Each structure stands twice: as C-alpha cells, then as structure tokens.
Structure 1
Amino acid sequence: MKKPLTGLSLILLAAGTAAFAQEDKRPTGETYDQIFQRLGDGMRENIIIRGEHDARTDARKHKRFYTDLQPLADLPPYRPAKQLTGTIRVSGLYLHDGLIKDQWIESFQRFHPGVKVVILPKGTIASGAVDIETGPRISDRLRAASQYEQATGERLFEIDWATGSYDVPGWSPGFVIFVHKDNPIAHLSVEQLDGIFAGSRTGGWKGTTWDAGVARGPEKNIRTWGDLGLTGEWADKPIMIYGRPLKYNIQLGFERKIFQGGDVWNENTLEYSHEANPDGTRYSSSVEMVRDMSADRYGISFSDMGSNRPGIRAVPIGASAAGPFVPISLTSLRDRSYPLFIEQWAQVRVAPGQPLDPLVKEFLTFMLSRDGQDGVQRDGKWITLPAVRAAEMRAKLDTTGERVDPHALGLQLDQLAPKKWDGESPDETGRTVATRAYYRTAFDLSGLPVYAPAAPVAGTVRMPASGQLMGSTTGKALIAAFNRHQPDIRFEIRDGDLNDDAVDLSFGRRWSSYFAGEVYDFQLKRDRSPREIQIATGSFDVAGWSPAIAVFTGRDVKLNGLTIRQLDGIFGGPRRGGWVSTTWRRQAGRWADRNIRWWRDLGVTGFCADKPIDVYVPPLKYHLMSVFERKVLVGGNMWNDNAREIPLALKNGKRTHPGEDRVAAAVRDRCGIAFADPGVKVKGAVMVPVARDEASPFVLPTLKSVQDRSYPLHLETYAYADAQPDQPMAPAVREFLRFVLSREGQAIIQRDGKWLPLTAEVARAEAAKIDLALPRVTAK
C-alpha cells in the first residue's frame, strides 16, 4: 500500500527556518565519519549542555513550586512493626539535592534511631552501591534492565512512590499534547495518540520481554487531521509531529504510555535536541520545539506545561475512546485521572523466591506512608501518590523476588546489551567456538609497521579477564609475544570497567556513543573522552565476532546493487539530525525526498516493479540497530515506519536464529529486504552488493572485501584507554597498543582466525592516535 507523502520537507523549511538559520547546521549529506572528523566527538557541546542543565536544576532544587499542603488523610501513617538497626542507602539526584532529603532522614530515624539513612546523588543496585535506586525507570531503558537481569539472574523489583510534577522542568512533568490554538480538535484518546505518533509494529516491550500481543498494522496509522474527524480546510492536511530524539528518556516513557512498549515512530517526526549554540549557550529542545510548532497550524507535539506559550493549547486526553477526556492540571495529576502522568520509580534487588530485605522493605513502606508522602509534598515539586496506588505498592512489598528465565520468549539479553568487550552482534547460533580458527587465509601484512621498541618500558597493564580477546587465543598470544620485547611490563588480568578505573584497557565492540551510552557516561564522569583505537576488523561471517552486515532480498528483486545512501532511503526515515558520537548533529539530517519506498524507484523491473519495499529488521532496541544507524543512517534513529521487527523467539523450546528469520521473511514476501550477517543461509535469498557512494563500485561481502574494507558495511574491533588532557597515555599501555597494531601483533590476530587483521593504511592511522596528547576541552 502506497503511503502518502506528508509534505515533511516543506514543513521542515517553513517551521524550522529560524532553527536552521546557522549554515553549518544544515544537512550536508556527509557520512558519520566525515561529520565526526570535521566537528569532533561532542565533548565541548556536552560540557555546555550539561553545564546549563545543572545550573537550571540547581536554581530549582530548593524551591517549593507547589505550596498548598494536602491533608493526606487517606494515606496510613507510618507505624513500624519493630525497631530496626543498620544502614539504608538510597540514591537519587533530586532526592539528594532537593528539600525532601533532610525530612525523610529525620522522620525515619525518629522511628528507628538505630538506623543510619544515607541518601546519595548517584549509585545503582546493580553495582551494590545502594539498597534502593530511584530515578528513571530502569525497565524503560532496556539496555540497563537487560544488563541487570543478565548479571543477577533476577527480575527487577520496582514500585512507583510519587507522581512527577505538573510544570517543573526536570521533575518529570506530565506529558502534554499541544496543538495550534486554531485547531478545532476537542480531545484525543491514548489510542488515537498511538495512531498519530507511532508507526505500525509487530510487538512491543514489557520490561525485557517482547510482547507480540500489542502488534498493530498500518491501517491504524493516523496521518491527516481528517482521519480524526476534522472537516473543511483540515480534512486533508497532514499531521506534523514535533518531538525529541528517540534515545531521550522522555521518548522511552512515551512509548510505554502510548505505544504499549512499541518503538516504531511515525517517520515524519521532527526531532528537537538539546544543542550547543556557537555563542556558548544551549539550544533547549522543548522551548524551540514548541516555539516552532506554534507557527504551524497543522502541528502537534508532546511536551510539558513548562513549555507552554501563546499560540498553542493543551488537548484533554482520555484513557479510552469512551472518555472521560481530562485536561491536565495539578488536581488531575494528583488523582491520576489525567492518563499521561509520569511516575517516580524505586528499584531494589530481591533474590528469587525470597522476600525483601527487612530494612529495605521498611524504608519503602515509609516512602508510601503519610509521613513519606508528606515529605514529597513539602518538597513542592513532585506530586503525592494517590491512596489507591499507594496501597497497591504496599501490597507488592509482600511479594517475593522472581527469577529470570533465560529461555523466556523475548528475553534478548545479548541482543539488547552485548558486553563492552564482546562483538557488535551476539552469537545467535550458539555454535561459535572462541578458540577455533575459522579462517586460514594469510593476508599480506608486509605493509604494516614492524614493532621496534625505542627503549625498555616498565609498568602494569590491567585488562578484563572476560571477553573475546582473552577468551580466544589472541590475548595470551599477544601478551606472550609482547613480553619478549618488553619483559618489565606486567599484565594484570581482572574483570573491571574502564569507566570506573578498574582496568587500563578494554577491548571489544565499539562503545555506544549516543546519548546515555558508554562514551557519554565517560565524558560526564571525567570531563574528557576515552581514547578509542581500532585494533582489528570484525569477522566476515563468524557469528558473535562482529561479522559484516549483509543485505538480502528474494530472487524476484533484480538489483545490480545498492549504495549506502539508497539503503538509508529504504530502511531509514527523514530526520532532523543524528547522533555523531555523543552529540546531536543536524548536519546528519535528511529530507523526506530521499525516502525510497517502491522498487520502481530503484529501477527494478518484473514482478516487484510496482510493489512496495517491505523492510524486515530486528527490534529497534537491539544493539545491532545502533550499529546500523551509525553505518547507514548517519547516526539517525528514525526508521521506515512500516518496518517489520522480527525478534529472537522460541521454536520447539529452542531459540531461533532471528537473522535467518528476517531473511526468510523477506524471501517469502518476494519483494522484501532484510539485513543479517553474511553467514546466514536461506534458500532463495540473494545477497546484494553494496557501494560506499554513487562513484564507488558495488561490492559483495567476502573474506577479502571485508578485510581490505572495500565492502563498506564491515565492522571494527576497538581498544579503549584513558589519558589525562595534554598528556599521552601511560607508557606501558601505549607500548602494548603499538605492538597490537604492528605486523607481529596483527599476525597474531590473523592466526586466531576470527577477527581480521587491519590494512596497513588503517593500522598506521590508528597508531598515529596513540602518541597524541589531546588538549583539555573547555567551554564558557
């Protein structure tokens, strides 16, 4: 079915003229790497954005915005069953910085003088740093939830203990649906919001479980105001959506509330991000988004009441089509009759089959009591919990912990969150042997530099014991060969994280660098970026070892090949920008005129000529999708909104191979397209040659074309290290990396037979990075 064009290109130009006024922020058509090389990794921008965010938060944290104290008579007073002793540690930045902290500590310790209450700004239950973790819902951030469940074998235990604010930025203000003041729409239901903001979907996320029961087809898409019953001039006008980048926490919460956990958005969503202006100020996404929407009669956005301005109005919302349709207000958030409230969450660890720790349970009971809620309302920003919900949460405290079933349908732990030191895509086959040499080809390494130590070096290098480097033959062989040159360097093999300074080097997949990824976390913690060095090319087709990305169709699709730009047009949607390293770059945007939705647009003849291109992909939260976004979508997160997600599943009690399932679906479709690793074997599937750009040849993935990187969808393997600004890396770390990038080091990687050795050109370029002393990044 042909999807009508919505005029996004014209609206982008009309509504965003002021926003795009700076020439260097217009879409450029550059690749991810070209933008990265030209504009940097985003460290300066993040200092500006985070600095202004912190300043604004600091200005609010001690202010009471709501001063009318409610009687709270319908909540039970806190009455401890018995006196307890010990220490309870609770994390939460706004708990720590706000007015609530001292009242909670004093009130709880009045009942339990033998208990020490410690409220910290940061700390996770996964690390054991705290007993109760508050903040964004972990299970909305699937990667964090998946990592937690994978590490502990426990289901997350969580309760909500307050409602977010009405209009206080930063304190989880409720979602508000804004339209232009002239728009006659009277109200909207949650189901209608789904049709407006979402695309079709094959399922959604309930925690870390994929639920196919919430699937819906494109027939429920709502794309014009006439689809909502408006007549006259409004009937044929496209609905223009103003939103945020899809990696923001606010988007994830909206997906849970509106899309039932689905993650496919209407591709005609204009994404507004926090950005750094050239003058050192912050471009604030919500303010600019609503400002631009106020000039668009046919626009719609979700934001918060703190962003309200003349020219727009908030729409009453109903939980169902039957209503009631409730306007947002302090009162409708207090009783939660307005359905788009945001909860405040607390997460704790509970062993499977065991009850909550007595002290943890007691403090959670206090949080849900009249005494705890009085602290919430006296803080004057969050809103107290309705009595009915508080009773439900208190009852939950009597339940026991749940065990994670590793065979549960949809529990894609590795697919969601491969460990930093593993490959970009997990071993879906379960058959890859870490110590086996799958390739025996000897590539010509004569162009690589020979390792020649300038002088003896002493010191210690700490490296993770887990992961592919040490799990294969590569790690031990590299260390042994290097120590023949540098016997005074000692290696300490231990599990740990570079971000926590537990190791000096980390090897494996490319760290996630978009908002809230590992590089971003490193930058926030240290005010500098980690040093990133490529040490190998990913495999050609060894599952789990960063195999290349191959594109497949059925035999009825007759193609000479596809360029990266064409793949973007097929799999991606129009976008206002993309994540290039840790900052949002509008230079990575593209317009709707580059969408490719019909095979005839690619010159295909025969059976598929007049057929739409049906796209089959993994669920958008899978880690592999962020890799594809970087390689093909220039860091953009907006996908073709008719993409059909196919997750890992169970068949006859065993896990399926989702890559094969996707390719098989495209073949059955006859006119479908999918991507997977080159090792996938499906009868009738055709692997499509790919070209880097219009001037480059079409290349099929082979062992040779992946190793020499003439095939553009190869992957890479990385080392990460730290170094102080204006200083080189530690000598022992620097020397070991020089050895890894040498002819001898790459020969060891080649003999292991999974990752592929670097070309001389890449090895020399990476070696040049090792000796660089990067300047300190500062901003006004």
Structure 2
Amino acid sequence: MLKLETFPIAFVLFLFVSFTLVSCGDKKEDSTTQKESVQTEQSAIESTQKTETADATAVKVDPNIPHYTKVAGISGNLSSIGSDTMNNLLTLWLEGFKKYYPNVNIQVEGKGSSTAPPALISGTAQLGPMSRDMKQEEIDAFEKKFGYKPTELRVSIDALAVYVNKDNPLKGLTLPQVDATFSKTRRGGYKTDIAKWGDLGLTGDWTNRGISLYGRNSASGTYGYFKEHALFKGDFKDQVKEQPGSASVVQGVTEDRYGIGYSGIGYRTSGVIALPLAKSENDEFHLPDYENCLNGKYPLSRFLNIYINKAPNKPLDPLLKEFLKFVLSYEGQEVVVKDGYLPLTYELVKKEIAKLE
C-alpha cells in the first residue's frame, strides 16, 4: 500500500485528479451502457407490438367443448370461499347456472386464495377457488383430516399482467426489470435498483419521477404467484401499496400517472396498459394474449383453479357436480371470455371433466 506522505503534494493532487477523471469516465460508461441496453430492449418491444395483438375480443371458445345439458332434481345450496381474482368469475358462473336452476343458491366470498384450504377443511365451503396451486402444507393439512388429497380442477387460463397508466410511454419489461422494480432482493439478477422511470429509459418529465408500486396483500394467490415467478421468490419492497382486491390495483394505477401494478388480465380497463414481458434481456417480448399463454411464451400465464373435497370411489354431490360441469361446458367457458379471461381448450376440458367421476 502506498503512503501519501512520501510523495510531494503536487504529485498527490495529480494522482487524485487523474483517478477522479477515470472514475467518472467509468461511471459515465456504465450509465451509457445501461441506457443503450434499455433503448435496445424498447426497440425490440416495438417490433413485437407490430406483430402481436392483445385483443381479447378475438378469443373464441373451442367449438368441440360440449354444451351444457340440464338435468332433473338439482336443488340446494353451495358455498364458495377463496380467490378475490376469481370472485367476479364465480358470480357470473352462478348467474349462468341459475338460468337452468333458478332455486339453487351459491354464496360467493372472495378474500384471497389462502382462505380456500381452511374453508374446505372445515366444511364451510364446497368450492375453493384459487388463483395459484395449493401449497404442499395446505394439501397436507387437508389430507391429514380426510385421508386423501383435495381434487384440483383447472377452470380457466389467466395472464398475470403488469399494468402501467394509459399515459405511460414504456413499451415493456423483462422479468429481471420487473423484479428490480418491485423487489428489494433483486434475485432476478438486474444490476441496479429501479426506483425512477428514468431507470427504465423514460425521458422528459418522466426521468426523475418516482415509480409508485401497487400490489396485493399476502392472503392473495396473485401475491404469491407474483412473488414466486416475477420476484424469483424474493421479497417485495416496503413501498408497495397493498390493495385488498385485484380491481383496486388497476384502479390505483389508473388514478396514478406514475403507478405500476400487477393484477389478472380479466381486470384490464381502458385506463391502463398491460405491458409486453420477456423472460430475460435476450428473449423476445410477448403480450399477455391467448396464444402466448397457451404456448408458454408469455412468462406470467397461469391456470385458475377450483379445489373440491371428493372422496375416492364416492359420487360427488349432484349440485356440486352439475355446477362444475357447467363451468367446464361451452357456456361456462363463454363466461370466462366474457369476464376477460382465457378459456380452456377441448383437450384440457376432457381431462378436468374426468376428475368429477
């Protein structure tokens, strides 16, 4: 190690100035490189947007899916407790089902996916909608009481979208950028924290504006899915404004010009933009549309599930079975499209229907 006192003061000053200039040059080079990288990504996204469209109205239900047929002797009550994301979907399914069976009553409560397993275990609900898969500890708790596992039914496809305000010029994000925006752990590998819109390449009035973060609370399956797949199982920043429901996230971003949030594609409105996403810097950007969700190109696509308590080798309660058959029918999947989600294919429906027998 060099000792400063052995050198003339002028020489020391020369070294200091030289080192400072080199350091500043390095920082400028790093900043320029990062800016060029962001600009390259935005150009790639613009190319993607010219070839893809996220027009949900173009989605059609598979014509091979059987239509629902009314049966005799169906009556009674059911209870659904679970996902807030699926709350409106369950309500619309119920409305469609009651056209066949006006005297049937189904109570729907959506306070988060984590409320579904306890409700199924206690018997307070016969339907457990979840916007994520059941965790192993939830399955174990169910099996400990009943001696068998809960039955999972995939009932719809969802794209978990990253929304910005309609006035935001951002063209898209990579998952590492999403992680660096929402997470304090940055397990996705992005080099720096993203706190201002200028960090994502935006200029002008946007450059120094802080990013307002909107998300769900920890009881939500959407929260858990986003944490696992977009944050690489990392931790959310403390600044995230946790909302009680999916619609609240979209509303928050709609009212906040500098906001960004995550929510199901079924909650998209004209006040927000669902960004194209890429798995990494070297991958293509894809919109959250039907084709990209089916082929796995959109990185945050998922199934929406309903869990039920079906004892092996025992028939399901007729009301429960008929409701689920309606959900998996052509008419039930039309409801999925109406609510802004993505319908199952005929092949998927066949697999799920078989679980009811």
Taking structure 2 as the reference length, the TM-score comes to 0.54
Match of 2:106 among 104, 116, 119: 119
Find the aligned partners of 2:191 and 2:150 in 1 and give their Cα distance: 33
Q: 1:95 to 1:243 in 2, by over 3 A?
A: closer
Q: 1:227 to 1:373 in 2, by over 3 A?
A: same
Q: What is the 5 A alignment of 1:435-584?
A: none
1:245, 1:273 within 8 Å by CA — same for their partners in 2?
yes
1:89, 1:131 within 8 Å by CA — same for their partners in 2?
no
Match of 1:305 among 244, 268, 273: 268
Per-residue deviation, residues 59-105 of structure 1 (Å, max 9, x unmatched): xxxxxxx996976343421478xx78666754348579845424324
Find the aligned partners of 2:108 and 2:67 in 1 and give their Cα distance: 25
Letter in 2 for 1:374: E
Q: 1:160 to 1:268 in 2, by over 3 A?
A: same
Corresponding residue for residue 156 of structure 2: 162
Match of 1:91 among 62, 79, 86: 79
1:272, 1:286 within 8 Å by CA — same for their partners in 2?
no
The alpha-carbon deviation at position 392 of structure 1 amounts to 2.7
Q: 1:374 to 1:226 in 2, by over 3 A?
A: closer
Q: 1:285 to 1:129 in 2, by over 3 A?
A: closer
1:178, 1:315 within 8 Å by CA — same for their partners in 2?
yes
The alpha-carbon deviation at position 373 of structure 1 amounts to 1.9
Corresponding residue for residue 77 of structure 1: 66
Q: 1:343 to 1:154 in 2, by over 3 A?
A: same
Find the aligned partners of 1:328 and 1:74 in 2 and give their Cα distance: 23
Per-residue deviation, residues 255-274 of structure 1 (Å, max 9, x unmatched): 244245x2522x35332556
Corresponding residue for residue 241 of structure 2: 271
Match of 2:316 among 357, 378, 384: 357
Q: 1:248 to 1:231 in 2, by over 3 A?
A: same
Letter in 2 for 1:190: L
1:96, 1:120 within 8 Å by CA — same for their partners in 2?
no
Per-residue deviation, residues 523-557 of structure 1 (Å, max 9, x unmatched): xxxxxxxxxxxxxxxxxxxxxxxxxxxxxxxxxxx
Q: 1:393 to 1:87 in 2, by over 3 A?
A: same
The alpha-carbon deviation at position 106 of structure 1 amounts to 4.3
For 2:63, what is the secondary structure of its paired residue? coil
2:160, 2:262 within 8 Å by CA — same for their partners in 1?
no
The alpha-carbon deviation at position 158 of structure 1 amounts to 1.9
Find the aligned partners of 1:290 and 1:375 in 2 and give their Cα distance: 25
2:176, 2:189 within 8 Å by CA — same for their partners in 1?
no
The alpha-carbon deviation at position 348 of structure 1 amounts to 0.6
For 2:155, what is the secondary structure of its paired residue? strand
| Higher RCO, 1 vs 2 (CA within 8 Å, ≥6 residues apart) | 2
Find the aligned partners of 1:354 and 1:90 in 2 and give their Cα distance: 22
For 1:391, what is the secondary structure of its paired residue? helix
Corresponding residue for residue 244 of structure 1: 215
Cα RMSD, aligned residues only: 5.3
Corresponding residue for residue 187 of structure 1: 172
Structure 1: gaps spanning 5 or more residues: 1-65, 111-115, 165-172, 201-215, 275-283, 402-780
Q: 1:344 to 1:314 in 2, by over 3 A?
A: closer
Q: What is the 5 A alignment of 1:294-333?
A: 294-295=257-258, 300-302=260-262, 305-306=268-269, 308=271, 314-319=274-279, 323-328=283-288
Per-residue deviation, residues 708-730 of structure 1 (Å, max 9, x unmatched): xxxxxxxxxxxxxxxxxxxxxxx
Q: What is the 5 A alignment of 1:607-756?
A: none
The alpha-carbon deviation at position 347 of structure 1 amounts to 0.9
Find the aligned partners of 1:128 and 1:120 in 2 and give their Cα distance: 14
Find the aligned partners of 1:256 and 1:247 in 2 and give their Cα distance: 12
For 1:251, what is the secondary structure of its paired residue? helix
Find the aligned partners of 2:89 and 2:275 in 1 and give their Cα distance: 35
Find the aligned partners of 1:372 and 1:273 in 2 and give their Cα distance: 29
Q: 1:186 to 1:67 in 2, by over 3 A?
A: closer
Corresponding residue for residue 103 of structure 1: 96
Corresponding residue for residue 750 of structure 1: none
Corresponding residue for residue 254 of structure 1: 226
Per-residue deviation, residues 412-462 of structure 1 (Å, max 9, x unmatched): xxxxxxxxxxxxxxxxxxxxxxxxxxxxxxxxxxxxxxxxxxxxxxxxxxx
Kindly indicate whether residue 355 of structure 2 is the aligned counterpart of residue 383 of structure 1. no
1:97, 1:121 within 8 Å by CA — same for their partners in 2?
yes
* Aligned length in residues: 280
Match of 1:395 among 344, 351, 357: 351
The alpha-carbon deviation at position 139 of structure 1 amounts to 2.6
1:176, 1:305 within 8 Å by CA — same for their partners in 2?
no
1:90, 1:133 within 8 Å by CA — same for their partners in 2?
no
Q: 1:229 to 1:383 in 2, by over 3 A?
A: closer
Corresponding residue for residue 44 of structure 2: none
Q: 1:247 to 1:70 in 2, by over 3 A?
A: closer
For 1:161, what is the secondary structure of its paired residue? strand
Letter in 2 for 1:178: V
Per-residue deviation, residues 141-176 of structure 1 (Å, max 9, x unmatched): x98667545544543322231346xxxxxxxx9523
1:272, 1:288 within 8 Å by CA — same for their partners in 2?
no
Letter in 1 for 2:213: Y
Letter in 2 for 1:345: N
Q: 1:97 to 1:337 in 2, by over 3 A?
A: same
Q: 1:343 to 1:308 in 2, by over 3 A?
A: farther
Find the aligned partners of 1:102 and 1:273 in 2 and give their Cα distance: 27
Letter in 1 for 2:286: V
2:153, 2:307 within 8 Å by CA — same for their partners in 1?
yes
Find the aligned partners of 2:79 and 2:122 in 1 and give their Cα distance: 12
Larger radius of gyration: 1
Find the aligned partners of 1:227 and 1:268 in 2 and give their Cα distance: 21
Q: 1:286 to 1:374 in 2, by over 3 A?
A: closer
